[in-house]
Amino acid sequence: MAEGANNISAGGVQPPSPPAPDPRLPLTPMQVFKLKKNWKGVKRRLEDTGVEMLIRLFRLEPSAQAQFKNIRHLESEDKLRMSEDLEKHAGRLMATLDDIVNNIDNVDYALSKMPTVAQQDVQFQGFTANQLALIEQPFLDAVRIILDDRYTENMDTIYRILIKFILQHLVNTTR
């Protein structure tokens, strides 16, 4: 084999090296690849994931539900699950998160979407930084439920890094 042949493609031209990872993104290129691949399972059920996440948030912090004028009167989880208003809100929220995840390796674009999440609805504008931070576990639980056996220990680590990254920037945009 000629010297340096393993660095040159069949056409005689060296392929471009992949771009360096953005240091602002706390995920490795392999974690980004796995996240995008695994996220497809969430994408198929975005509204279900969002509804589950919000219900779990309301269970954890009942005062958060009071900030949603169209659902604050709903007293049971069954009524919340049947609420079209909650489903629509969850769908909008998750669509924005979907856009962020699908473009997570373009950090500038992903960060530009953070204010969209924070200002998605009038209800979120009243959220404090502490309430936003409470979304972490409900998000993880909802994704785990939706993905079932596709939610592995490795994916748990990746989703934890992802949600912390998102929440950190959401909190920064709400200040």
pLDDT digits (tens, 9 = 90+) for 104-122: 999 999 999 887 766 664 4
Task: Specify if 55 maps to a domain.
Answer: yes
DSSP state of 61: -
Query: Are 25 and 165 in contact, with CB atoms under 8 Å apart?
Result: yes
pLDDT at 130: 74
Average pLDDT over residues 29-55: 96
**CA–CA gap between residue 143 and residue 48 (Å, rounded):** 10
Number of domains in the chain: 1
pLDDT at 68: 83
Please, where are the H alpha helices in the chain? 29-43, 46-60, 62-65, 77-82, 84-102, 107-118, 122-125, 129-133, 136-147, 153-174
CB atoms within 10 A of CB 41: 16
Task: Specify if 164 maps to a domain.
Answer: yes
Task: Specify if 50 maps to a domain.
Answer: yes
User: Model's pTM, two decimal places?
Assistant: 0.84
CATH number at residue 116: 1.10.490.10
**Residue 98 one-letter amino acid:** D
Give the pLDDT confidence of 55-92 residue by residue, as tens digits.
999 999 888 888 888 898 998 999 999 999 999 989 98
Domain extent, residue 161, equals 27-174
